[in-house]
Amino acid sequence: MDTTRTLLVTGATGGIGQATVLALLAEGHRVVATGRDATSLLALQGKARDAGHTLVVIELDVTSASSLAEARADVLARVGVPDVIVHAAGIAELGPLMITTEPALERHFATNVLGAMAVTRAFLEPMRTRGSGRIVHVGAVVDRLTLATHGAYGASMYALRALNDTLRQELRPFGIDVVLVEPGTVRTGFLDAAFDGLDAKRTEGSRWNEVIDRLQTLKRAVSWIGVAPERVASVLVKASTVPSPRRRYGVTAAGATVQLGAKHLLPTRAFDGLVRATLGLAKRVGVAKSLGTPIALVTGAGGRLGGPSALALAKAGFRVFATDSDPATLVHLEGHENVETLSLDVTDPRSVGSALREVDARTGGYGVDLLLNSAGYVDPAPMDLVDERTWQRTFAVNAVGAMRVTRLVAQRMCDRGSGRIVNVSSVAGVMAFPFVGPYQASKFALEALSDALRQELHPFGVDVVLIEPSFIADGFADRVAKSIESRGEAAAHWRPILPHLPAIEGRLGVLGGDAEEVAQVVAEAATMPRPSPRFAAPWTASVAVRAEPWLPAAVTDRVFHELFALGDVGARPAS
């Protein structure tokens, strides 16, 4: 039996990607190596030739739709539909989130998450028609281990894990395996590039300069505990070629294993303290006086959660500035005591700046004591039906938009020595399931951003809190049905799910809660003197959040397979 595979590897000119290409060739497989740098691709091709192998190289920028279209046509013409896609393309940039620019955050998502999904979609339909295929994502141990100064990269890795898990559940009925390989630190040029931009983040008098100094001194130690790229490549070869792969493969040195254990076993405050001490973030400033009546800014106040939360905060004694990109959605809040409405679109820097200047004008330049990031966007659909625009919109609102407002508001809080940021995440930011892939990926990212911010801002008197609601009914069944029906024959393989959607929504509703219940939890998180890092509502959400780190993926996959009636979709071909 011929076990030779045809594999497409992205990011093949980097350390892990290059090592994987050479290891696959040595095993006798057909490999298409792709990357952005044509010169490096030719050098890799020469190295393969010197070793007696034939290597196909194709230029590909995973963030460019035109580049991907050209590469796809070239791949299909030269080798046909790949048996396996190995996603090794990625970028990393370290530094505190408060001085990480929005373009830098967007680049992480565009390359590490949206780029991977775009390449998968390019070949998914022929894989599904064939009834077989495999997608292998190169993640990182920081997809579960949030660290200060790793916020942007960690957020993209959290999002990639969500993407991977959702794809795995949705594609398994069609005979396609999806595998995640999670290395720790790897001794490659990728690591050097992650540290190289730190000097450019320095500004005179910045509160973050000492953190940058400490991070640079840690580079040698971080490199020392790393593993060789060849070790990761050997695991990727296994994940790509064995008949029945595991869902996840870890490739970590002892140091990373200890960190993961500490993260899961220690109380969050204790783990945060260790991280801050390592990075020189242990000093906490004194708390300044406030105006008396605390000021709250709520984004997305026209939404299902934002409106009730704004009213709950007003009832709790806050002067609330309720904002939304669509002022018409705020009409029901006008006239309520302690509530003022403003237009604010979190995806538009000018709109954000204008709204915050208006808040300053109405508070005598004080700013806000509490920021509630509840603006959100979700467009439920199976992952293979989601277009690039939806992915971009989802991340622009749920992750980049939240950080845009946070960075501007938190600067003033740090200067003042007090403040609180409450981010509305979701159980879908902790546990991935079918039909809401982009939303889940963005909420996983928000979880990582929030954890890194909490570690970084605590020394300056600013608390960062996550709210993790469970399912709240919002026409889920009708919206998924519309996404399938509107795509005609391109979505024919999902039509068997249509009769089950009302029942699926009903099952989710049993596990869910209501917006008013979540709003009360928001008010509690906003007013507690020493809030917990996370609040889940209702009790079902708390159970899910606490259980997720300990549940094997095989268990959750089986539960969601039944819950979402995936047994009626597709058919796994016989061996």
Which residue numbers are catalytic? 153
Q: Would you tell me the crossing angle of helices 501-511 and 553-563 to the nearest 10 degrees? A: 130
377 alpha carbon, distance to own chain's centre: 14
Structure tokens at 516: 């008013």
DSSP letter (8 states) at residue 227: B
- Rounded CA gap, 569 and 575, in Å? 19
- Rounded CA gap, 448 and 222, in Å? 20
Contact 85, 119 (CB under 8 A): yes
Structure tokens at 55: 């290597």
CA distance readout (Å), 456 to 209, 219, 284, 410: 13, 19, 11, 11
Which ranges of 242-321 would DSSP assign to H, the alpha helix?
A: 254-265, 268-278, 306-315
Which ranges of 205-346 would DSSP assign to H, the alpha helix?
A: 209-217, 219-224, 229-241, 254-265, 268-278, 306-315
Contact 104, 93 (CB under 8 A): yes
- Rounded CA gap, 458 and 2, in Å? 58
- Rounded CA gap, 480 and 476, in Å? 6
